[in-house]
């Protein structure tokens, strides 16, 4: 399922399992190259082959600039690969749709909408439509969306009184939690989270980690989760993928580790896996 230089034991067990669980995301021989004005083009991703099964919680790690966000944007359909294919539910990825939730690395809230309006925006557009807002039959639906949005707001640890605030009145960490609520309320089949917890203080971060794991268990959403925190990657996910490239190479990053995380791993196993991720991802000479 993955290209050379990766954990073959994990890859072999995945191959066996795919017979029962369908593949949700297939990344096939993907390369990404960016054209640069007056310079040689820049290779970012090189020959990425990766299958993600429905219901997997996959963390993506790797040094800064190795192409993690680029990979998420390919799965979202916001960007196309230079070579290769990205298939989602066996269809070729063309453009973003409501089945794919996305929490980008940079805050993306609408500055002129309140917190509540930001959270309900996706549902309003897909279920009510821009012109249906005033129809009496739609008013009940909008009320329902608002009730759901308030529920998500509370689950994110924000107050009901924050609902009427505008993004600029919130801290970075609060804005990030609104962005997470905005993605979750759509109940996407696939959830892409790009360093979604990085702006949070340690206590809030632990709370959000617990919440996302709970939601994942409840909904069996397929999650791709980018993080720089190897403990977070190992304790949250079912599988850790590390991107990297040989030092000095201009070939773009490939997959250097594909590690299955056993369910209910004990502290010793977790510590061993973290060491493995850190050695393979962050050691000089690998990146
Ligand atoms: N549209 C673009 N045009 C040119 N270069 C780009 C473009 N988008 C990304 N890059 C370059 O591609 C490389 C990978 O970027 P990307 O944002 O995917 O890395 P990343 O692994 O997410 O890094 P970080 O951990 O810092 O978020 C970087 O060198 C970046 O400058
Ligand atoms: Mg990034």
Sign of CA dihedral 236, 241, 246, 249: negative
- Nearest 5°: CA angle at 195, between 210 and 247? 125
Q: Is the CB of 222 under 6 A from ligand 1?
A: no
- C-alpha 60/C-alpha 210 separation (Å) is 18
For 170-218, how does the pLDDT look when each residue is reduced to its tens digit (9 = 90+)? 998 899 999 999 999 999 999 999 999 998 899 999 999 999 999 999 9
Task: Report the percent of the chain where pLDDT is more than 70.
Answer: 86
Which parts of 89-229 fold into alpha helices (H)? 115-123, 136-155, 172-184, 202-219
| Assessment of whether the complete model's pTM goes beyond 0.75 | yes
**Which range (102-116, 133-147, 215-229, 263-277) has the least confidence?**
133-147
- C-alpha 2/C-alpha 6 separation (Å) is 7
- C-alpha 189/C-alpha 100 separation (Å) is 6
Please check whether residue 146 is in contact with residue 114, taking contact to mean a CB–CB distance below 8 angstroms. no
Atom 1, ligand 1: residue with shortest CA distance: 34
Nearest atom of ligand 1 to the alpha carbon of 34: 4
Residue range(s) occupied by CATH 3.40.50.300 in the chain: 1-99+188-287
CB burial readout 14-32, b (16+ within 10 A) else e: beeeeeeeebbbbbeebbb
Radius of gyration of the chain (CA): 20
Ligand 2 centre to CA of 68 (Å) is: 5
Atom 4, ligand 1: residue with shortest CA distance: 34
| Higher pLDDT pick, 129 / 57 | 57
Q: What is the distance of C-alpha 76 from the center of its chain?
A: 9
Q: What distance, in Å, lies between the first and last C-alpha atoms of the chain?
A: 22
Please determine, for residue 58, whether its predicted confidence score (pLDDT) is greater than 90: yes
Nearest atom of ligand 1 to the alpha carbon of 195: 27
Task: Tell me which CATH code domain 1-99+188-287 carries.
Answer: 3.40.50.300
How many residues appear in the chain? 287
Please determine, for residue 6, whether its predicted confidence score (pLDDT) is greater than 50: no
| Higher pLDDT pick, 251 / 269 | 269
Tokens standing for residue 60:
């993506």
Strands 190-194 and 100-103: parallel
Angle of helix 172-184 relative to helix 136-155, nearest 10 degrees, comes to 130
For 71-120, how does the pLDDT look when each residue is reduced to its tens digit (9 = 90+)? 999 999 999 999 999 999 867 777 777 789 999 988 789 999 999 999 99
């Amino acid at each position: 399922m993955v290209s050379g230089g990766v954990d073959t034991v994990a890859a072999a067990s995945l191959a066996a399992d795919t017979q029962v669980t369908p593949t949700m995301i297939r990344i096939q021989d993907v390369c990404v190259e960016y054209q640069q004005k007056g310079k040689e083009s820049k290779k970012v991703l090189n020959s990425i082959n990766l299958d993600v099964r429905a219901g997997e919680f996959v963390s993506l790690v790797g040094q800064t600039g190795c192409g993690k966000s680029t990979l998420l944007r390919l799965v979202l359909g916001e960007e196309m690969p230079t070579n290769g294919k990205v298939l989602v539910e066996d269809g070729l990825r063309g453009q973003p749709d409501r089945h794919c939730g996305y929490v980008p690395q940079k805050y993306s809230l609408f500055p002129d909408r309140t917190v509540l309006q930001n959270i309900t925006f996706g549902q309003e557009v897909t279920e009510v439509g821009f012109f249906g807002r005033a129809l009496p039959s739609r008013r009940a639906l909008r009320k329902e969306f608002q009730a759901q949005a308030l529920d998500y707001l509370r689950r994110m640890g924000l107050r009901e009184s924050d609902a009427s605030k505008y993004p600029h009145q919130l801290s970075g960490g609060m804005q990030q939690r609104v962005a997470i609520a905005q993605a979750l309320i759509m109940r996407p089949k696939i959830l892409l989270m790009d360093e979604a917890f990085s702006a949070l203080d340690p206590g809030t971060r632990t709370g959000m980690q617990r919440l996302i794991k709970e939601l994942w268990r409840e909904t069996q959403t397929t999650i791709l989760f980018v993080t720089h925190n190897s403990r977070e990657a190992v304790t949250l996910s079912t599988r850790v993928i590390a991107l990297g490239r040989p030092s000095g190479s201009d070939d773009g990053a490939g997959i250097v580790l594909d590690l299955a995380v056993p369910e209910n791993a004990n502290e010793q196993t977790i510590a061993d896996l973290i060491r493995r991720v850190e050695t393979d991802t962050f050691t000089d000479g690998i990146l």
